[in-house]
Structure formats: C-alpha cells, structure tokens
Amino acid sequence: MKKLVVGNWKMHGSRASNGELLQGLIDANLAQSAPNADVAVCVPFVYLADVASKLSGQSIAFGSQDVSAHKQGAYTGEVAGSMIREFGAKFAIVGHSERRSYHGESSQLVADKAKAALAEGLTPIVCVGETLAQREANQTEAVVAEQLQAVIAALGAQLADIVVAYEPVWAIGTGKTASPEQAQAVHAFLRAQLVGALPAAARVPLLYGGSVKPDNAAELFAQADIDGGLIGGASLKAADFVAIARAAA
C-alpha cells in the first residue's frame, strides 16, 4: 500500500499565497520524486475552485476540511458533500479535534458526516485522538475506541472505504510529537479495532497527525502501522511538505 500524505491547511491562506504554495508542490514533481506516496491537500471551502483549477491534470488530490451530515436543506452555513464533490475533490476531513473541541462535535455526528461523505463519493478522513489529560490518565485506548466505534457502527461494510487519522490533541500545533513507539502503539490498536469489526478494513490507511516535520517524518512513517500523515503547519511550506512526502515514499 502506498503511503498517503495529506496537508490540512486549516484556516490559513489567500488566493495569492495558495497559488504559490501549490506551484511549489507542482514544481517538485512528486509523481516522480515521491512515487510511492499519494499526496493531497485539504483546503478551506472557499478555495476549492482555485485549487481544482490549479491542480487540474496533476497527481496531487485535494479535499475539504469538513462536510455536512445533511444532503441538502435549510442548514445555513453548511456545505454538502455533493457541493464539495462537484469541484473534483476526493477527500473530506471529519472529526478533527478542533471541530470536536471548538464546535462540540460528538462522535455520532462525526460518524454521520463520514457516512454523508461516502454517499457523495468522497473519502472521509476520520480523525481520532486523546487530550494530554486523557493520556496521563491512561485513557488513550478507551477514548479512541469510543470515537472509532461510532464510525464502525454507522458504516458497516463501507468501513473499508475510509481513512483514519490518529492525532493526539496534545501534539497538534504544540511542537510536541508522540514518539514513534507511542504513535505505533495507538495505530496498532486502531488497526485491531478496524479488522475486528470488518476484516476488509485491514486496508484502511492509518495516518499520524501531530507536529509532523521533515526531521521526524521518516522515523514515524517507518512504523508498521503508520501509513502516512495528516500534516498541519508543515503543509503550509512547500519545501517542508515536499520533504515529508518524499520521506513517506
């Protein structure tokens, strides 16, 4: 299985700076320089059209950072999966810790969003992860199991068609990173949960997210159950993101 490296721009960017960033990725010719890695960027909704145009004919995929659980209707401010897919997007991040924390998204809502994304031909990148307090209380496995179980229950056989990203909340944007051994332990646990629910889910890519940088990417990606990364801050610098993609390959 190829590694998968996904950049999450979060709420950063402008039309000008995005164009420069994407041009840097295009110039790196990742299809040749990182042939064993699939690469994508997940961008703010308002930039989907620009990104679709810039990446037309390129090997780099793209997606959104969220998706509505609803198909259509009177849901002001929401963006439906069909709208995202219309631009040619491949992915939709669901359940990022910032959505869970700042917007009160429950595990059930995250599961509903994953199901809605799949219904429109999008691949949901389902995020799970624990806070520092939960890790220190030895609750990591219980927390990520609860978050993942809601998705398992909602998707059935479609579970094999998702991506899962483990992002320890205490390592996001803090400069702290789970050690390769810590990350691998959680990834192995998540793999067991997926396979136990659906054997075909053994092929689900498991990404690590949390202060991944060029200097730690190779060691993280070398772990048996880490299939790539969900990259935050480093995805905003073309040179760093390219270096991480090459480390994955």
Q: One of 78, 167, 187, 219 is an active-site residue; which one? A: 167
**E strand or H helix that includes residue 20:** helix 15-27
96 is catalytic: yes
Structure tokens given for 10: 């979060």
- Annotated active-site residue 181? The verdict is no
DSSP secondary structure string for all residues of 150-194: HHHHHHGGGGGG-EEEE--GGGSSSS----HHHHHHHHHHHHHHH
Amino acid code (one letter) for 159? L
Which residue pairs, CB below 8 angstroms and at least 24 apart, start in 9-14? 9/41, 9/42, 9/43, 9/44, 9/65, 9/235, 9/236, 10/65, 10/98, 10/232, 11/44, 12/236, 13/43, 13/44, 13/47, 13/236
Single out the catalytic residue among 96, 98, 105, 130.
96
Active site residues: 96, 167
